[in-house]
Structure 1
Amino acid sequence: MDNVISADGTSIAYDRLGDGPAVVLVCGGSVDRMSNAPLAALLAENHTVYNYDRRGRGDSGDAEVYAIEREFEDLDAIFAEAGGSAHLYGTSSGAALALLATAAGRPVNRLALWEPPYILEGTRQRPPADTASIYRDFVAAGRRDAAAEYFMAEVVGLPAEFVAMAKESPWWPAQEAIAHTLAYDATVMGDYSVPEKAVAAITQPTQVLTGGASEEWMALGNQAVVELLADGSHRVLPDQQHNVDAAVLAPALKEFFA
């Protein structure tokens, strides 16, 4: 593990693996860089992979006030370590962050997005517009468990029985530990509609990947992103859901980044 210092002085931790063209991996909500570790190991067969902890989670530091721009600056620091530019991959809300960062002018060569969870009108109920405030209020009140439970039940839409089981699982304390970052991802997602101006501003070759077994609303939102891209493609990975198998995803990414 290494560290870089972001523009605001926050320490950002990352693992560097392999050798070859640089690829930066962005994790999604309620997880740290370990969620991308299996994928990083497979991509490292052909690439130099930078798998980092987004601010506020894992081994990275944080700041008192959150802003999406600070996450862009974190990526700037990682890109500098990677030699000035890199391919960029993001998953879920991390895909939305990667998309926004690319649109804002970060030095991305090729952009790959796994299931950015944009919701088209009429396909599924969107989370409340003030979701970030809901998370912040729970955390401020010392109810990190409630924040994590709200994310699973009300935002992801997991069944009540799964959420109850999760709260009894050994990994639940880790969910509570990073519950404050749920507000960060909610800020990135906004109202969960496709950020049309940002998508249209992206000129880099971009591939949006969707699981063939994922819900229809996800596929429709992903297709809407592709239609707005200047150089976009859509790839469906058969039998995969949102929690994609790294052994299935890695060959697709290697092909696209090549």
Structure 2
Amino acid sequence: MTENITSADGTTLAVDTIGHGAPVILVGGAFNDRSTVAGLGAELASSFTVVTYDRRARGASDDKSDDYSVANEVADLGAVIDHVGGRASLFGHSSGAVLVLEGAMGGLPVDRIAVYEPPYCADENQPRPPADLYDRLAALVAAGDRDGATELFLCEAVGVPAEVIPGMKAGEGWSFMAGKAPSLPYDILVSKPWQVMPFERLARIGVPVLAVYGDQTSPLLAEGTRAVAATVPGAELTVMPGEDHAVLQRPAALAAILAKFLG
């Protein structure tokens, strides 16, 4: 069932709810919307009330703000929590993982949090994109250059080699990704890959946290996930054999891990 709810600044968010039980909100990352977490939601629906939503500026959600701000997305998450009764557990994938952690650090009423491969920079010696990446990305979006914004994000935020991009553009998935381009400044702003992760703020999280990564993912994503588990008091760490960043395409094993932690 899809419903439209209103965030604090008047932005309309498309929200889907399935299943029965304690509420769990699933939050996708860059180039994701509620459809890409639907498979995971279906796996969890027998045990939980599963809520998915289109983050602002993507899918069927709009964006009434005149600027990009992490606070906007935290407020959106708070509106979804209100919609499901005022408290919920959260799962986030990639930049969605950073967003749900931001929600906890911002004091949202959260019971438990699970994250998959948050794209944090865990070490100042790691390679990082330049600090003007956000400005350049926002400028491309403002100019209506969705292909350019998508390419910039993939090359400089994700690390896709430039020579791979033409083949991606020729593939059937490019239009889906480019359609999410207006939301990419939010993904980059919440993750801030040019900065080292906020260790002190993470260390103040007071709810149970599970950090998960796949052993076939990039070393930087693995390191960032391990750093979350090492920094949040009492956090658990799980490594999924044979998995990488595309785990949402194969949700059954992840669902079993989440059901055990969230249940």
After TM superposition, is the score higher than 0.5? Answer: yes
1:254 aligned partner, one-letter code: A
Superposition pairs for residues 180-219 of structure 1, below 5 Å?
A: 180-190=182-192, 191-219=194-222
Decide whether the 8 Å contact of 2:141 with 2:181 is kept in 1.
yes
> What's 1:249 paired with?
254
2:55 is paired with a residue whose SS is coil
Decide whether the 8 Å contact of 2:211 with 2:236 is kept in 1.
yes
1:58 CA drift (Å): 0.5
1:160 CA drift (Å): 3.5
Task: Say whether 1:43 aligns with 2:48.
Answer: no
Decide whether the 8 Å contact of 2:4 with 2:13 is kept in 1.
yes
1:122 CA drift (Å): 6.0
Superposition pairs for residues 55-204 of structure 1, below 5 Å?
A: 55-63=56-64, 64-121=66-123, 124-190=126-192, 191-204=194-207
d(CA) in 2 for partners of 1:59, 1:158: 28
1:121 CA drift (Å): 2.7
Decide whether the 8 Å contact of 2:58 with 2:182 is kept in 1.
no
So what's the TM-score if we normalise by structure 2? 0.93
- Structure 2 unaligned blocks of 5 or more: none
1:228 aligned partner, one-letter code: T
**Aligned residue pairs: how many?**
258
Aligned counterpart for 1:239 among listed residues 213, 237, 242: 242
d(CA) in 2 for partners of 1:54, 1:78: 10
Runs of 4+ in 1 over 4 A off after TM superposition: none
Range with greater deviation from structure 2 (98-107 or 172-181) = 172-181
Decide whether the 8 Å contact of 1:132 with 1:184 is kept in 2.
no
1:161 CA drift (Å): 4.4
1:210 is paired with a residue whose SS is strand
Q: Relative to structure 1, is the Cα distance of residues 142 and 60 closer, same or farther in structure 2, using a 3 angstrom cutoff?
A: closer
Q: Relative to structure 1, is the Cα distance of residues 42 and 240 closer, same or farther in structure 2, using a 3 angstrom cutoff?
A: same
1:123 CA drift (Å): 6.1
Identity %: 39
d(CA) in 1 for partners of 2:55, 2:233: 28
> What's 1:23 paired with?
24
Q: Relative to structure 1, is the Cα distance of residues 142 and 3 closer, same or farther in structure 2, using a 3 angstrom cutoff?
A: closer
2:112 is paired with a residue whose SS is strand
> What's 2:225 paired with?
222
2:253 aligned partner, one-letter code: V
